[in-house]
Amino acid sequence: MNRALISVSDKSGVVELARGLQQLGIEIISTGGTAKVLRKNGVEVKDASEITGFPEMLDGRVKTLHPKIHGGILAIRGNKKHVQELKEQGVQPIDLVVVNLYPFEETIKRTDEMEEIIENIDIGGPAMLRSAAKNYRDVAVIVDPSDYSWVMEELRKNDRTLSDRTREKLAAKAFAHTARYDAVISKYLGEKFGAGKFPETLTLTYRKVQELRYGENPHQKAALYAGSGKGIVGGEQLQGKQLSFNNILDLNAALSIADEFEEPTAVVIKHGNPCGVATGSDLLEAYKRAHACDPVSAYGGIVAVNRRLDEATAKELTSTFIEALVAPEYDAGALNVLGRKKNLRVIKVSNGGENGLEVRPVSGGVLVQERDVLSLKPEEIKTVTRKKPSEKEMEDLFFAWKVVKHVKSNAIVVAKEKQAIGVGAGQTSRVDSAEIAIRKAGEESRGAVLASDGFIPFSDTIEKAAEAGITAIIQPGGSIHDAEVIESADKHSLAMVFTGIRHFKH
């Protein structure tokens, strides 16, 4: 390796890399701001314009798009014709390309100014990366500053050469880097220029955060990837064992429910479903009430709260076994209490989830839909029974409706005083879900309300609710048997409202 071209937007570690290359006797070519930084730090640099014979043009839009750059990168060293053509054109080979790209993704996060955004679409950078990665047998390519140190170590140990395996690894990473870069640009401009939420070609790109011990089961391999970097994936783990695949799913479910509420709220999740949700005057009360919904199921569960966790609530949480906890903030006292449970996974998530698209794999492809973030407004509710819900019942109906949205369908939630007291999840029959929720609620069902994520198809669910002492029901309506269901509710003096909105969660 004799010559390297370095042109980076992210200057992290680049001076140390360039110094190391220079110490090995490798000539360095650079451009613009990178060249200035390197020179300022005592690194000898040859400007790309010296190689091409042309100055940087068009406010820096054209710097390296030239045969004397790309010819030097793309020439196959073992091809006599290529070598002869380089000689005839006065082109010298370039053996290492170190490039990372204009910060397009960071730019669209901080501004909507289109002119600035467009100028942060890199052209020359991706071209050099693809050229170098294509010719990986002869040219090494580095896109990630985290790779500088180990690549330099290999160059030092092996007389300025890199193994075939290293070149292959770096090339694959470069192609992944440009693919992600183009996908982000394509998605942003597609939405901006009217391609809609569901474009003809859907390109998904994620960055690996970490490999997991295993997936849903120990025989399944798994990894965690980041998209927007928000929500659980963007959270900070403050203590505890590594998160498992199932931990992450349950934490996400818990956080999604907690984010529904403005009042102090606690959520307990087990196997993807809430087994306790409650509000309170403060977090301590909220958690006690959430845990009381189903203390047996809550053991070994996942907890989310929507307020800064205080010391008193931390003590209550750690009085029983939980796997993981997520909150937006933690008091110092709370962290001290939680720290006594070394294996407890404690996650801080300061920015909630996102309202973008939800992608689910199926054999041969993916299903894509908008996330279910639709909220219910009071004026959208229609009372269909002779008895109208009281103000208190209406508050509980709204609470139950927010919770049932996050329960696997068929879903029934029984609630009282903004506390889930019975949850029936994932049954093939809605009346079975109702029986489970009512059984879990027990005597607390008297004076409670019931929410159903889909329409109640028959009066059997109404009969069960009335027998348990439930006084009000919220459901979407829309069954061909609505009249029969309403008649049954009137017969038992139940209040029932229709939302016209369904919240299936498959």
Active site residues: 134, 271
What are the phi and psi torsion angles at 56 (to 5°)? -60, 135
- The pair phi, psi for residue 183, each rounded to 5°, is -65, -40
**Token reading at 488:** 């049954």
Question: First CA to last CA across the chain, in angstroms?
Answer: 56
Coil, strand or helix at 418:
coil
Sequence-separated (6 or more) residues with CB below 8 Å from residue 183: 203, 204, 205
DSSP 146: G
Taking Cα atoms as reference points, which of 326, 306, 291, 302 lies closest to residue 247? Answer: 302
Query: What is the pairing mode between strands 3-8 and 27-30?
Result: parallel
Q: How far, in Å, are 72, 201, 213, 255, 400 from residue 17 at the CA level? A: 21, 39, 34, 42, 58
Q: Which residues contact 146 (CB under 8 A, 6 or more apart)?
A: none
Tokens of 156: 């030092």
- Euclidean distance between CA atoms 181 and 158, whole angstroms: 33
Secondary structure (3-state) at 264: coil
Give the CA count within 13 Å in the CB-facing half-sphere of 358. 9
Q: How far apart are CA 86 and CA 72, in angstroms?
A: 8
DSSP state of 390: P
CA dihedral 382, 388, 393, 399 (to 10 degrees): 0
Tell me the pairing of strands 3-8 and 96-100: parallel
Among candidates 264, 272, 266, which has minimal Cα distance to 292? 266
* Residue in the structure block whose two tokens are 């290359």: 21
Q: Alpha carbon of 430 to those of 423, 437, 456, 457: distances in Å?
A: 12, 11, 7, 8
Whether cis (ω within 30° of 0) applies to the bond prior to 410 is yes
Nearest of 463, 432, 436, 438 to residue 450 by alpha carbon: 438
